[in-house]
Structure 1
Amino acid sequence: MTLWVDTLLVDVPADQSLWHLPALTDLGNRHLAPARLLAELERQQPKVVLMSAQQLEQLLGFAALPLSDLGFLEQLLFVTQAPGHSSLEQQAAATLGCSVRGYTRASGEWQMLQQANSGYQRSLERALGHPDISAAALHGAVLFVVPTACLPGPVDDYLEATAAALDGQFEHDQLAQAVRLSDQLGNAALLSMLNGLDRCGLIPVPLDDLTASLDRAGIAPEHRPLIARWLDVLQREGLLYRTGTWLQPTPERSRWQDEALEQTWARLAQTWADNTGGRVTLEYARDNARQLPALMRGESKAVHLLFPEGRTERAAALYRESLAAQYQHRAVAHWIGAWAARNAHGQPLRILEVGAGTGATTEALLPALGSAKVDYLCTDVSRYFSEQAAARLTDWPWVRHGVFDIDRALLEQGYVSQSWDLIVAGGVLNAARDTEQTLSTLHALLKPGGWLVFSEPTREEFWVMASQAFMLNTASDERQHSSATFLNFAQWQAALHRAGFHGNRSLPHADHPLSVLGHRVFVAQVPQQRLSREALADHLQAPDLTIELPEYLPDTATLARWAQSHTAKDSL
């Protein structure tokens, strides 16, 4: 593995993971401040680091260094202008507890290390001199490059045509009733939360030692953050009020006891069926409400309620039944169909669907592609769902099927960067552990000018907090600070911007009746001017060099996995 730092190249043993800062030249003449360097080290946890002697001296003199945990560091290399660096080696080794080696820039030893580099050294040098590259590394005959972010520019996303096309497909009274039903469903879920807390012995809620109270009630440790979030929401919605060190219910007990709740859910189910033509969503929500104590204690698994006996019929209906879901599917289908028609020339358009699940988005989308030439890869994190999708989509034999995990880097999964014209994701990105990292991965998979089209809820849904929230991964993005189930609209906009997407608009518009529900279809574009593989290859003039443009520079463990799977998945 070859690392470039301030015009220097060094070979690192292949069995060691290599750390790269976002801009590698920052470790050269343009030093990182010690505080930032420590923060990056603790975040990325490298085994090997290369820096200048001056940078190392500043790090060793930094007051916060003793408070940092750098136990993951195995080797530190530094470069000096003149010999006589043994004392710095000894000081650094004693302080950092790792192997430390210094090299003099003009020494024969350093020259030997430089000469040991790959024959593609000049290509690496040219790549790092390119104004549109922030970081690069060589591994054999593969050059890994992270392009710089592009300045914001105008984006023509054609959303207005899709909005106009959908305006005549739903009756206004039906949409208004759907909004009222959503409020009623949320209220039934909140009352069911009170009921679940009571059945677990948590009404009134003792606040003097909530952790101990949850423990005594048998609440499963993995669900305690969710229950704490319930308490916040119930207070905010006026169903719990604080008196001293207790939370007391505001509504009369008769409203949220078993018999009253059964009647509430039954009435709501009938109204829901009249509005949507289906009953599955309400049956599912009611079943979860009945099971809340068992779910809270971990005695029942939420996944078994969504997929009873492994069947997918309930989940399939859940993602199709509501008017908000129908609006989303039609919006995605119309936009992508119109996009395909505009671009239906030359090579087949490459579309990747991630998190296809029960196929609600897929089945709405495929008919809209018409006669356009398309290479469509339908994926899910589970082979089970992928195989079910293959059986369900036999009317579209040209659709390919595979596995893709939104929480893993693209190289780890054998996928090639800048390979797709469009990525579609229906209600799956909220399940990512780190939304911004997932968006960066999808950004790297798309060609310059490629599109990401996805649907997501952008506000808290109380009935989801009392059902599917029990099976969602613990988030490591902004949601961890509020225990929220979903990112809100502003957070999605900010995450897309930070990941490098432009445009980032969505439907329905603010004046649409369904907009208050927070279910949105986002359309975002990778900038046309982003550095492409073809442009970089022309710049480097090295035909035998393979170029990859991932979301970040990989360590050697990732590279090894990529090398093993690259041949098998090159056609992806």
Structure 2
Amino acid sequence: MNVDTLLIDLPAGAHPWRLPTLTDLGAHQQAPARLLAVLERQRPAVVVMSAEQLERLLDFPALALSDLSHLEQLVFVSERPGDWQLAERAAAQLDCHVQGFTEEGRDLADLKREQQRWCERALGHPQVSAVALHGQTLFAVPQRCEATAVDDHLDATEAAVNQQFSVTQLNQAVQLNQRLSHAALLSMLNGLEQCGLLPAPLNDVAQSLANAGIAPGHRPLIARWLDVLHTQQLLQRKGDHLYPSLDASAWSTATLDDLWAQLSLDWAQNTGGSTTLDYARDNARQLPALMRGECAAVHLLFPQGRTDRATALYRESLAAQYQHRSVAHWVGAWAARQPTDAPLRVLEVGAGTGSTTQAVLPALANVAVDYLCTDVSRYFSEQAAERLHAWPWVRHGVFDIDRPALAQGYHTQNWDLIVAGGVLNAARDTERSLAILLTLLRPGGWLVFSEPTQEEFWVMASQAFMLNQASDERALSSCTFLDLNQWQGALARAGFQGNRSLPAAHHPLARLGHRVFVAQVPEQRLSRAALAAHLKHPDLQLELLDRLPDLPTAKDLP
């Protein structure tokens, strides 16, 4: 907009007014205090400034103490069509007529009326429940769809993967996991004793943990240890204290060293490696330091910054192998069923060390696919790029499951499949993260992910020291993981349908609780194409979310 040719309507009887130099503030990015001083000294009836200057002026605390009663009209120029909200705010604070224009000379008040018309038109669609328009982006919340029966093809995956494991090997794996859990529980007793927490007082657990020097961030976890040890009958209540039910020799440091050494040998014989047991044992030995915050758990998982331990953690056990093979088989079969007229769009979130990625990519080798591998950390993303050099067609990026996807530059309904291996349990609010993932998928798109569904005691004595405090159902139950029923409920409430999982109930590994879920976005969910056809406005960017973003500022939007 060219302010030199701007014509301003003055009140009746006023003389035509030419903008004095000092009242045309559009080209002068002055600090709010200096800007306010100019306005008070010059006392103009009309002033022109940029939207950025106006925002800073309205936020300036001294504005309320200033005399700007001489102002009759304020004109501002904005690059953002959605700044009509700024005009309303300025009119209320300055008590004068405020008019905003875009750089193209369009009146923001007219734009507001136009935006309201497009919102009303969008709400006229029977599948739209809420809308908001910010600039040229229209946000719509689709109506929830009723869940219908879906063919998830899990039975074929189950049959194919079961042939790859012997029942004897699987039963041994379950027994080893039970021994690992018992070793972790005994190590918790040892850690509690070394921190002076045995017998454990029950009258004021929080104060007792503080007196023992337990790091504030770890106190909820140690309190959960007491509950678990009591439930597992390794602590018994006598009066107002919990006492060990076993002789101290059963969980002495020497006994635990022997127990961990034998368990490591047996684990290696079953899985072919011992890195997982080395990691669990090192955490057990460091429990007092971990509990007090004197040792960072992340340094035990990534010693000297190496990722070999974390890699083994997600690949070594038979449960992990079963999960990876199940995900890979299901994804390969899914890809083979898709039409070939366009590349499939696959997003992997929380790729971490790439164990799921490296299992899935060979299953997609013979199809056209746009595969984006992401993690919350750029460090992991860059490492994944090096590790996956054999698949140069894989793209790499950063994605945080705890943040709105649109704020990270991920547009809605852009993906056919989302893959997630053991990452959703790290979300602060699992249901919220599931809802975000649903909006990223096209109608009919699929989510396939693997997760633990029951407490793992060795995780409580290792990785749990690194996990965020949950704000979903886990906060109520004080558990590390959602159980099977909670996962199915969370998926349904987020809007997914299907949500079956493997292994089946009769499978030996079912006792361990490690599961592979598949869930689908209803095909009848409102699509961007359908809403665009209804609106017939080619210039609008459409985003179909589970709830409206925080407008009018929408500062998180890309």
Question: Which residue, 428, 433, 446 being the options, matches 2:428?
Answer: 433
Aligned-residue offset at 1:558: 6.9
Whole-Å separation in 1 of the counterparts to 2:203 and 2:411:
54
- Is 1:274–2:269 an aligned residue pair? yes
Question: Which range moved further: 153-162 or 118-127?
Answer: 118-127
Whole-Å separation in 1 of the counterparts to 2:552 and 2:390:
41
Aligned-residue offset at 1:209: 2.2
> Which structure 2 segments of 5+ residues have no match?
1-88, 93-106
Whole-Å separation in 1 of the counterparts to 2:477 and 2:342:
46
Does the 8 Å contact 1:340/1:369 carry over to 2? Answer: yes
Amino acid at match of 1:170: F
2:239 equivalent in structure 1: 244
Does the 8 Å contact 1:352/1:376 carry over to 2? Answer: yes
Question: Which range moved further: 550-559 or 531-540?
Answer: 550-559
RMSD over equivalenced CA pairs, Å: 1.7
What secondary structure is seen at the aligned counterpart in 2 of 1:235?
Answer: helix
Whole-Å separation in 1 of the counterparts to 2:264 and 2:321:
18
Q: Deviations over 1:108-132 (max 9, x none)?
A: xxxx998561524332112112221
2:293 equivalent in structure 1: 298
Q: Deviations over 1:476-502 (max 9, x none)?
A: 001111221001111100000000000
- Is 1:144–2:139 an aligned residue pair? yes
What secondary structure is seen at the aligned counterpart in 1 of 2:554?
Answer: helix
2:449 equivalent in structure 1: 454
Question: Which residue, 444, 462, 466 being the options, matches 2:461?
Answer: 466
- Seq. identity, %: 67
2:99 equivalent in structure 1: none
- Is 1:324–2:319 an aligned residue pair? yes
Q: Deviations over 1:68-100 (max 9, x none)?
A: xxxxxxxxxxxxxxxxxxxxxxxxxxxxxxx9x
Whole-Å separation in 1 of the counterparts to 2:206 and 2:237:
17
Change (3 A) 1:285 1:531: same
What secondary structure is seen at the aligned counterpart in 2 of 1:562?
Answer: coil
1:397 equivalent in structure 2: 392
1:159 equivalent in structure 2: 154
What secondary structure is seen at the aligned counterpart in 1 of 2:207?
Answer: helix
What secondary structure is seen at the aligned counterpart in 1 of 2:555?
Answer: helix
Whole-Å separation in 2 of the counterparts to 1:120 and 1:354:
35
What secondary structure is seen at the aligned counterpart in 1 of 2:152?
Answer: coil
- Is 1:133–2:128 an aligned residue pair? yes
Amino acid at match of 2:223: A
- Is 1:550–2:550 an aligned residue pair? no
2:472 equivalent in structure 1: 477
Q: Deviations over 1:249-271 (max 9, x none)?
A: 00111010000000110111111
Q: Deviations over 1:235-292 (max 9, x none)?
A: 1001000000110000111010000000110111111011000000100000000000
Question: Which range moved further: 361-370 or 458-467?
Answer: 361-370
Whole-Å separation in 1 of the counterparts to 2:516 and 2:556:
35
1:381 equivalent in structure 2: 376
What secondary structure is seen at the aligned counterpart in 1 of 2:164?
Answer: coil
What secondary structure is seen at the aligned counterpart in 2 of 1:117?
Answer: helix
Whole-Å separation in 1 of the counterparts to 2:224 and 2:115:
54
Aligned-residue offset at 1:344: 4.6
Aligned-residue offset at 1:213: 1.4
Whole-Å separation in 2 of the counterparts to 1:193 and 1:141:
57
Does the 8 Å contact 2:343/2:368 carry over to 1? Answer: yes
Does the 8 Å contact 1:411/1:559 carry over to 2? Answer: no
Does the 8 Å contact 1:357/1:380 carry over to 2? Answer: yes
1:361 equivalent in structure 2: 356
2:259 equivalent in structure 1: 264
- Length, aligned pairs only: 456
Question: Which residue, 181, 195, 209 being the options, matches 2:176?
Answer: 181
2:528 equivalent in structure 1: 533
Question: Which residue, 211, 226, 230 being the options, matches 1:231?
Answer: 226
TM-score, scaled to structure 2: 0.80
2:188 equivalent in structure 1: 193
Amino acid at match of 2:259: T
Change (3 A) 1:168 1:398: same
Question: Which range moved further: 223-232 or 547-556?
Answer: 547-556
Aligned-residue offset at 1:369: 1.0
Aligned-residue offset at 1:546: 1.3
Aligned-residue offset at 1:370: 2.6
What secondary structure is seen at the aligned counterpart in 2 of 1:320?
Answer: coil
1:515 equivalent in structure 2: 510
Q: How does 1:46-85 map to 2 (within 5 A)?
A: none
Whole-Å separation in 2 of the counterparts to 1:555 and 1:313:
41
1:42 equivalent in structure 2: none
Change (3 A) 1:222 1:557: farther
Whole-Å separation in 2 of the counterparts to 1:149 and 1:206:
49
Amino acid at match of 1:185: L
Question: Which residue, 473, 479, 486 being the options, matches 2:481?
Answer: 486
Does the 8 Å contact 2:134/2:552 carry over to 1? Answer: no
Does the 8 Å contact 1:411/1:550 carry over to 2? Answer: no
Whole-Å separation in 2 of the counterparts to 1:158 and 1:118:
50
Does the 8 Å contact 1:229/1:483 carry over to 2? Answer: yes
Whole-Å separation in 2 of the counterparts to 1:542 and 1:474:
44
Does the 8 Å contact 1:179/1:517 carry over to 2? Answer: yes
